[in-house]
Structure 1
Amino acid sequence: MFDTMTFTKIAASLCGALLVLLLGKWAAEELYHVDGHGEQAYVIDTGADEGAEEVVEVAFADVYAAADAGAGARVFRQCSACHKLEAGANGAGPYLHNIVGRAVETADGFGYSGALNAVVDVWTPEHLNGFLESPRGYAPGTSMGYNGLRDIEDRANLIAYLATITD
């Protein structure tokens, strides 16, 4: 019933059909390909631009003046996975005891990446705010893997809490 010649004819016809299909696809793409749509001929005004909210930039000093250290203690729970508050007790990150006003990269026994010295000398509340907002954006090359705190009130509350952890 099926000999070698019949099988060869069937296989050749399938391969030929596939070849015609692929060549037809290529020809259609070349024929109907558009390199851009150009400018829009008519724009419908929806009024979406009129009601856009303005983002008001608040100065960190104003937010920090009204910061709540108690709320900062709750925010610190995120930090406590890597940082300790006891002096000399390093975790995955350096200890944060007396961090506000302390020189950068001075936690005893912790191996720093060296990226912070290029950006900052002393941890002032303003420098801590910038670093906590986006550690890798503030000090490129830092080994801190945290993405940062986006809310300015949370950062101010956390810094106010850390300012209370002193001798």
Structure 2
Amino acid sequence: MERDMFDTMTMTKVLGGVCGTLLVFLLGGWVAETVYHSGGHGHGDDHVAGYTIEVASAEDAGGDVEEGPAFAEVYAAASAADGEGQWRACSACHALEEGVNGVGPHLYGVVGRDVAAVDGYGYSGNLIAVNDVWTAEELNAFLENPKGYAPGTAMGYNGMRRIEDRANLIAYLDSLDD
């Protein structure tokens, strides 16, 4: 009889501990939501941040923003060998073998190829509307910010920030075909 009471009490304590922990997490989430957001409780347009961080713009700094070197200069010095290392990020969705499509179209011969030229692959209309041919310059602009280059594109990649990395990758892709 004593053993059954001990088991029941133990289970009650465990259940109480789990419920108490859940209550603490829910309460913590509510407090964080209250501290960091003001306004209504919905998640629509009326949801406003509770604080604003002011950032100085280029005009406030009193000078022009220095642009990096032109892509043509960087591309002229690009290394296809270094670009092969950049390819790893692309290989998750693309293949290098002609006619083999993954989530994205194959990239064999992409430099100089018409956009939407891969048979059997359904391109997003937004990408087709932006460009006709994948020149090195167009690939550079697309790889820097795919969603900014072709808003609504199905490509989920966030972009490659360094111009040298983009130039090396494009040089690698261009070296694969004749």
Q: Which TM-score bucket, shorter chain as reference?
A: 0.5 to 0.7
Match of 1:113 in 2: 124
How many Å apart are 1:56 and its aligned residue? 3.8
Partner of 2:158: 147
1:70 paired to 2:87: no
Distance 2:68 2:162 in 1: 12
State how far apart, in whole Å, the 1-side matches of 2:134 and 2:114 are.
6
Provide structure 1 residue ranges, at least 5 long, that are not aligned to the other structure. Answer: 1-48
Alignment of 1:12-91 (within 5 A): 55-91=66-102
- The aligned residue for residue 168 of structure 2 is 157
Aligned partners of 2:65, 2:140: CA distance in 1, in Å? 23
Q: For the pair shown, which has the larger CA radius of gyration, 1 or 2?
A: 1
Q: Extract structure 1 runs of 4+ deviating beyond 6 A.
A: none
Which TM-score applies when normalising by structure 1?
A: 0.67
1:72-91 deviations in Å (ceiling 9; x for gaps): 00000000000000001000
Distance between the aligned counterparts of 2:140 and 2:92, measured in 1? 19
Q: Distance in 1 between matches of 2:171 and 2:163?
A: 12
Q: Deviations over 1:54-103 (max 9, x none)?
A: 63421000000000000000000000000000001000000000000000
Q: Give the SS at the match of 1:116.
A: helix
User: Which of 126, 133, 136 pairs up with 2:144?
Assistant: 133
Which string of whole-angstrom CA distances, capped at 9 and with x for unpartnered residues, describes residues 5-26 of structure 1? xxxxxxxxxxxxxxxxxxxxxx
Pairwise CA RMSD of aligned residues? 1.7
Report the identity percentage.
Answer: 61
CA distance in 2 between counterparts of 1:92 and 1:132 reads 17
Larger relative helix fraction: 2
TM-score under structure 2 length normalisation: 0.63
Q: Relative CO higher for 1 or 2, CA cutoff 8 Å, sep ≥ 6?
A: 1
For 2:113 and 2:125, the matched residues in 1 are separated by: 16
